[in-house]
Amino acid sequence: MYKTLFSLMAILSLSSTHLYAVEFGVGMNLSGSGNTIYLPVNISENIRLEPYLSAFKSTSKGGPLPTAYSNTFEVNFFGLGIFNIKHISGNKNVIIGMRAAYLRGKRNFISGGVSTSDYVVRGYSIGPVLGVEYFPISGLSIGGDVTWVFSKRFEHSQDSVNSDVYNSTSNTTTSATIKYYFE
């Protein structure tokens, strides 16, 4: 996967026809239940690489006593987006590209206050992205995107009972973002 990613980056960087000052930025996701930090790098006028870090945690509880349960799921994403930027006007862009991420985390399940299952979680996600961004002032971007995400997850039990879980999902996510580019 890394060889493919670096090959794609090399091909995209060759498509730049003139010199362009690399532009770095920082941003965050304003929507959703997780926390995402973006570190966009505009390597040419039309190409953006966007490493990102994301943390997600969910807890669900329920059931009558004494069989009540609690399920806690924590995962961190380490990802990269590669985007083609289409300039609509001086302060509006359309963004088309892909995001891929490696994920790792843990899941803990307690049932009836007695039995506990701990899992180590590993996996990946990948998907195409379509977004827009608007620059109300120079360097500040407000935007949003839609992503179709395919993810595959493996959960390995750390208990004496060996119960591994494999999970594949696909869904559509939307996000609202704010980013600042250092000029």
Query: Domain of 60?
Result: 2-182
Cβ neighbourhood burial of 65 (10 Å; 0-12, 13-18, 19+): exposed
Q: By C-alpha distance, which of 115, 39, 107 is closest to 78?
A: 39
CATH number, domain containing residue 14? 2.40.160.70
pTM for the full predicted model: 0.77
**Cα–Cα distance measured from residue 122 to residue 162, given in angstroms and rounded to the nearest whole number:** 16
pLDDT band at 68; cut points 50, 70, 90: confident
Q: Which residues pair with 56 in a beta bridge?
A: 75
Query: Tens digit of pLDDT for each residue in 4-41?
Result: 545 545 554 554 445 567 899 999 998 866 689 999 99
Q: By C-alpha distance, which of 106, 98, 145 is closest to 123?
A: 106
Instruction: Report how many domains make up the chain.
Output: 1
